[in-house]
Amino acid sequence: MKILVLNYEYPPIGGGAGNITKNISQSLAQKGEYVTVVTTWYKNLPEVEKPIENLEIIRLKSKRKHLYNSNPFEMLSWQNTALKFLNNHLINNKYDICLANFSLPGGYVAQKLKKKFNLPYCILSHGHDIPWFYKRQMFFYHLILFFIIKKICKNSSLNFIQTSFMKDNIDRFLGKKLTFKNIIIPNGVEVFDKLNSNRQNEPFTVIFVGRFVQQKDPLTILKALLQLKKMDIPFKLLMVGDGPLRNKMEKFVEKNNLTTTTFTGWIKPDEVKKIYSKSHTIVTPSLAEGMSIANIEALAAGVYLVATPVSGNKEMLECCKNGVLVEEKNHIDIANKLQKFYFEQYLTKNFKAQNTSQQFSEQYSWGKISELYLNEFNKILKQ
């Protein structure tokens, strides 16, 4: 099978969605399928790359300026560039199916290709691209593009989402007659080797991994750790990531003398893995999520999850009891859960998430997840 994958982000560009695209594409290529990914070029990256057999990465130059974030105008630039390139590329290069990440911009390109080349496509949603997943931030964006997004999702063969919450949302958006098109396939995780050996002798370490934006609510974790300090619980806090809230967060840390807090900025995936191996809990006080890659990676590495009950988190904790849910914007609740972890697991060195990390990884391995996508593609092609 020849598969065309569209995503304006692909590592090292972007965040979770790019990593999802990379892992699905690599896993499908390793199964013997031929995969071509069309994404965005960034300085010092090759325009065409074949990292493994059966996988080709084509990077198109657009107006993107930053490695880890992009605005709608830059996405539109990639969309127009990709459409122009693919209208020529598909004349001599035939594909069986297209997997488009996000309804916009990837789905828009895929819909145009279907009309011109009769190429069936599926949408891989990551949550916020579907109305009304995160109204607080995306309301006007979704309002303006409502009918365009709806047409793209209706014309797709299938729409993939990661959680039951996301399915409920897209089912309401498209209507009862099209619920059969919306298929839940969870995100997967790389199976980590030998990541648990450093945790036993480390000081109590709490981490946050992600963008410093309102949706992720990183300020709440700082308030929680200030409360933990008042409880006389010793800790080390690592804030892994960056974003527009960083300046405000750094001022909070300085004002409240949280001297054991470190802002790492954006770091390479291998460095994040090292942090997982030495950490005990990951706190994600998000107000909205698709299915967090940081959370699923941390759990696979044996890190205990303290998270709000947004989309995906509850599902991740069901199999192994390797974390706990907390109320949104409730720093006292987070602090109490961390205190409980400190006395029951850290001091006793009986880490529940570490003990179940292999079981969790086996359930969510990318090999298994990519097989689910491949099964759905085969059904579409048979039809």
Q: What is the DSSP letter of 8?
A: S
Q: Is the pLDDT of residue 193 over 70?
A: no
Instruction: Look at residue 14 in the predicted model and tell me its pLDDT.
Output: 85
Instruction: Name the residue ranges covered by the structural domains of the chain.
Output: 2-188+366-382, 205-363
Strand partners, 375: none
Q: Check residue 114 and report its DSSP letter.
A: H
Instruction: Give the per-residue pLDDT at 54.
Output: 98
What residues pair up with 184 in beta bridges, in sequence order? 161
CA distance 365 to 187: 9
| Shared fold status for 2-188+366-382 and 205-363 | yes
Rounded to 10 deg, the angle between the 72-92 and 108-117 helix axes is: 20
> Region 280-302: what's the mean pLDDT?
92
Question: What number does CATH give the domain 2-188+366-382?
Answer: 3.40.50.2000
Q: What is the per-residue pLDDT across 116-129, written as a single tens digit (0 to 9) for each?
A: 999 999 999 998 89
What's the chain's average pLDDT?
A: 93
41-54 pLDDT per residue, tens = 999 999 999 999 99
- pLDDT at residue 320 in the model: 80
289, 16 Cβ separation under 8 angstroms: no
Bond into 132 cis (ω within 30): yes
- Is the CB of residue 5 less than 8 Å from the CB of residue 348? no
Q: Please report where in the chains the tokens 């198109």 appear, as a residue.
A: 60
Q: Is 42 helix (H, G, I), strand (E, B) or coil?
A: coil
Phi and psi angles of residue 123, each rounded to the nearest 5 degrees, phi first: -95, 130
Q: Which CATH number fits domain 205-363: 3.30.1280.10, 3.90.1300.10, 3.30.70.890, 3.40.50.2000?
A: 3.40.50.2000
Tokens representing 275? Answer: 């942090």
pLDDT confidence bin for 58, thresholds 50/70/90? very high
Task: Please check the confidence at residue 319 and state whether its pLDDT lies above 90.
Answer: no
Query: For the segment 211-251, what is each residue's pLDDT rounded down to a tens digit?
Result: 999 999 999 999 999 999 999 999 999 999 999 999 999 99
Q: Does the pTM of the predicted model rise above 0.85?
A: yes
> What strands lie across the sheet with 261-265, from one edge to the other?
261-265, 236-240, 205-209, 281-284, 304-307, 323-325
Q: Tens of pLDDT along 59-102? A: 999 999 988 788 989 999 999 999 999 999 999 999 999 999 99
CA distance 121 to 109: 10
